Amino acid sequence: MFIGLNAAIAQEKPNIIVIYADDLGYGDVSCYGMHRIHTPNIDALTDKGVKFTNAYATSATCTPSRYGILTGKYPWRQKNTGVAPGDASLIIPTDKKTMPAMLQDAGYKTAAIGKWHLGLGAPGTTVDWNTEIKPGPLELGFDYAYIMPATLDRVPCVFMENRHVDHLDPNDPITVSYKHKVGNDPTGKENPELLRMRTDPRQGHDQTIVDSISRIGWMTGGNSARWKDKDIAGIITDKAIQFMKSNKDQPFFVYFATGDIHVPRYPHSQFRGKSGMGLRGDAILQLDYTVGRLIAALKELNVYDNTLIIFSSDNGPVLNDGYLDQAEELLGNHKPAGPLRGGKYSAFEAGARVPMIVKWPAKMKKSKVSRTLIGQVDLYASLAALTGQNITGGNAPDSKNMLAQLLGNSKKDRPELVTQGGPLSLIEGNWKYISPSKGRRFAEAVKIELGNDPQPQLYRIDKDVHEEVNLAEKYPDRVKAMQAKLEAIKHS
């Protein structure tokens, strides 16, 4: 019987692909209510899939959310897990087992493709972009990596394949600094006439110009390795498809982190001008096309049926995140956050509540909408359960096995979930408590309400999804209880 059980478990090793969009809001795809443009490929995932209405990234920015999804641990338990500078050292510890490492144990071949933004190199060292760079994704359980090191708006604007900058000419070495100008490359500040899009003077992004777009940080050299923004989505999709093709005869796990729709938005000409909403809308169309290409490739490789597809975003939406690309002016009646309040960076719902769709064609036969409370931090334990792996040794301490919920077979909420805007929030059933915070209420440049309040906030996020009525004074006991629970989780 034991053998039989193992055999049964052994069959549950579908390929797994996590398609992780960047800054895609809760209302930014048509299956979550966007009307102005359509995302047919993303919408198609909801056909015989589960569309989650209450799924959360761990945080309202990229680095901590990525930390959370890959480690199964709340990022705020560790220092320096905020938005990582472009030259940050690797922030995920290599002595713990990450989700991809756990899947390697289960027999998977694993790949990280696309945006990394979790730092590279040993803590306390400075990355030399011209040599082997480690630790990085390969030391964290990925067999293959093809990544953009940080964000699209940060230098160095190059791809890395495994431990090296791709297409680097050794005679044109890369130097990067986040402190001072290096080399003679033009900068946005000095040569604004060279820019294809202006930057917001309040937000910087006016340093080295790469591909006619100025960035955060200075770089020189590496000219043959520099990306063209219009080609990024196509290149990383090709790399993902290549990896799936080479590994189609065994289970594979692809962590596919697109740069869309983060700034600077400069999609391929195939999409530019197509949405009528400016480059932000065009980038959504590109993202949708990318999803379509990945799905088509799975079908072509004959592995589509047995692939678990998870689509989500790392944090909520922002319009002007440093570049004046007309995202605001051309928005019209589109609501990037749907019915939610706030946006990227915010403790309000739009910060961390994101679209999440799960589909496994061989196993899921009905289209479902799930209101279950679930976090991306739960993928680790859920995929461990799916692939028959035990979690030991303090790995993934905050991850809960929500496999049944992921597959649409249970509606049971996670007991509670902590999310991070600036302050931490605790969500329990229909209640959300936002801990008091002295931070500013409104971020002027990005025009986002951050959810900071020196007083505790309590909302009924079912009836009052826009978090209008603070019920904290009305329900002091609930505030106290939720505060205590949050403290207990923080110190557990």
Binding status of residue 381 toward ligand NG6 by CB under 6 A: no
**Phi then psi for 287, rounded to 5 degrees?**
-60, -45
Residue (62 or 92) nearer to ligand NG6, CB: 62
Min separation Cβ 22 and ligand NG6, Å? 6
Residue (155 or 263) nearer to Ca ion, CB: 263
Binding status of residue 263 toward ligand NG6 by CB under 6 A: yes
Binding site partner of 37, from ligand NG6, Ca ion, none, Cβ cut-off 5-8 A by kind? none
Residue (249 or 444) nearer to ligand NG6, CB: 444
Binding status of residue 185 toward ligand NG6 by CB under 6 A: no
Binding site partner of 471, from Ca ion, ligand NG6, none, Cβ cut-off 5-8 A by kind? none
Binding status of residue 336 toward ligand NG6 by CB under 6 A: no
Binding status of residue 151 toward ligand NG6 by CB under 6 A: yes
Min separation Cβ 59 and ligand NG6, Å? 9
- Please give the residue ranges that form the binding site for Ca ion (CB under 5 A): 22-23, 62, 314-315
Binding site partner of 216, from ligand NG6, Ca ion, none, Cβ cut-off 5-8 A by kind? ligand NG6
Residue (71 or 457) nearer to ligand NG6, CB: 71
Per CB under 6 A, contacts with ligand NG6 among 34-63 are: 61-62
Residues with Cβ within 8 Å of 31's Cβ and at least 6 positions away in sequence, in order, are: 39, 42, 43, 45, 46, 51, 355, 357
Binding site partner of 334, from Ca ion, ligand NG6, none, Cβ cut-off 5-8 A by kind? none
Binding status of residue 23 toward ligand NG6 by CB under 6 A: yes
Residue (91 or 106) nearer to ligand NG6, CB: 91
Binding status of residue 206 toward ligand NG6 by CB under 6 A: no
What's the CA gap between 463 and 199, in Å, rounded? 39
Binding status of residue 216 toward ligand NG6 by CB under 6 A: yes
Min separation Cβ 251 and ligand NG6, Å? 30
Min separation Cβ 446 and ligand NG6, Å? 8
Min separation Cβ 61 and Ca ion, Å? 6
**Phi then psi for 49, rounded to 5 degrees?**
-130, 180
Residue (62 or 407) nearer to Ca ion, CB: 62
Q: Which of 322, 355, 361, 422 binds ligand NG6 (CB under 6 A)?
A: 322
Q: Which of 83, 301, 471, 489 binds ligand NG6 (CB under 6 A)?
A: 83
Could you tell me which stretch among 68-76, 249-257, 314-322, 400-408 binds ligand NG6 (CB under 6 A)? 314-322
Binding site partner of 467, from Ca ion, ligand NG6, none, Cβ cut-off 5-8 A by kind? none
Per CB under 6 A, contacts with ligand NG6 among 106-145 are: 117
Residues that bind ligand NG6 (CB under 6 A): 22-23, 61-62, 83, 117, 151, 153, 203-204, 216, 262-263, 315, 321-322
